[in-house]
Amino acid sequence: MNAGRNLRARREALGLTVREVEAASKSIASRHDGDTEYVLSISQISYIESRELVPNIFKVFSFSIIYRLDYREVLGWYGIKLDQSAADLGVVAPGRSHRLEVLNGTEQVKIPVRLDPSFNLTKTCNLGRMIEKWGIVPLGLLKSLDVPNYCYAYLGSQDATMYPILLPGSFLQIDETKTRVAKGPWRTEYERPVYFVELRDEFMCCWCEVRGSEILLQPHPQSGVQTRVCKHGQDAEVIGQVVGIAMRLDGWIDADLQREPKQTQLPH
């Protein structure tokens, strides 16, 4: 780690002596009820700069104040990258829903800021092929999207194939390692895998069933969309299985879709 060397370089750049840093840390301690944890003694500063001692959280705070540094930058020198918090969230899965307060301190990540001019909101597409430029924004959670073997897709605003399970306009996470169509039975429609399929001139998000050399692209029964039969691997290629979705539940109604109305059977 270069933390000690960085701290020394910063101290010298500010023209501070070790004794002055010690005095400043004592002033900080006095402002915090005399807590000596904030104090940086001359010997401690020497050990820290020579990388023989790692400061605790209180002393990191003192360094950041005295050296006019962002607390997160000092932590970064010791290998603690707060911007990677989102990627580490998967190590535990609490049973109860909760807010992600851990991401409040994250800084910047790259997200798409310019899409291909041919991008059409009404059509389902592979987002990776539409992105022309990435930019920096302060949204640490999006860093978790950088996962190997995963791609992301947009479900067209007029694509009702999997309605009402997947609403048009949703964003999809696709596991590209799961290209083999699974066989049932499934207890409910929610257990049945949904696949992202590339056709000759479009993409489709649907259930799939392989029959010999053919693949059936099956929509949700309530969608009003017809089942399609294609040559497996020639006219239709399974990109992967949908394993995550992000969709709005407000500001959307069935009437927004430009499709034939569902046929309703009257009771006898």
- pLDDT tens, 150-180? 888 888 888 889 999 998 888 888 999 999 9
pLDDT reported for residue 88? 75
Q: Which residue has tokens 């569902």? A: 262
Name the percent of the chain lying above pLDDT 70.
Answer: 73
Q: Strand, coil or helix: what is 150?
A: strand
In angstroms and rounded to an integer, the radius of gyration of the C-alpha atoms of the chain is: 28
Please answer whether residues 195 and 228 qualify as being in contact, where contact means their C-beta atoms are separated by less than 8 angstroms.
Answer: no
Pick the CATH number of 145-252 from 2.60.40.420, 2.40.50.100, 2.10.109.10, 2.70.98.10: 2.10.109.10
- pLDDT confidence of residue 125: 73
Instruction: Sketch the domain layout of the chain as residue ranges.
Output: 3-80, 145-252
Contacts (Cβ under 8 Å, ≥6 apart) of 238: 179, 180, 181, 195, 196, 197, 208, 215
Across the chain, mean pLDDT equals: 81
Using the predicted structure, report yes or no on whether residue 33 has a pLDDT greater than 90.
yes
Q: pLDDT value at position 85?
A: 72
Beta strands in the chain (DSSP E): 109-115, 125-126, 131-137, 150-154, 171-175, 195-199, 203-211, 214-218, 228-231, 236-246
pLDDT at site 63 = 95
Q: What digits encode the pLDDT tens for the residues 185-243?
A: 899 999 999 999 999 888 999 999 999 999 999 999 999 899 999 999 899 999 999 99
Mean pLDDT lowest among 3-12, 26-35, 101-110, 249-258: 101-110
- CATH classification (class only), 3-80: mainly alpha
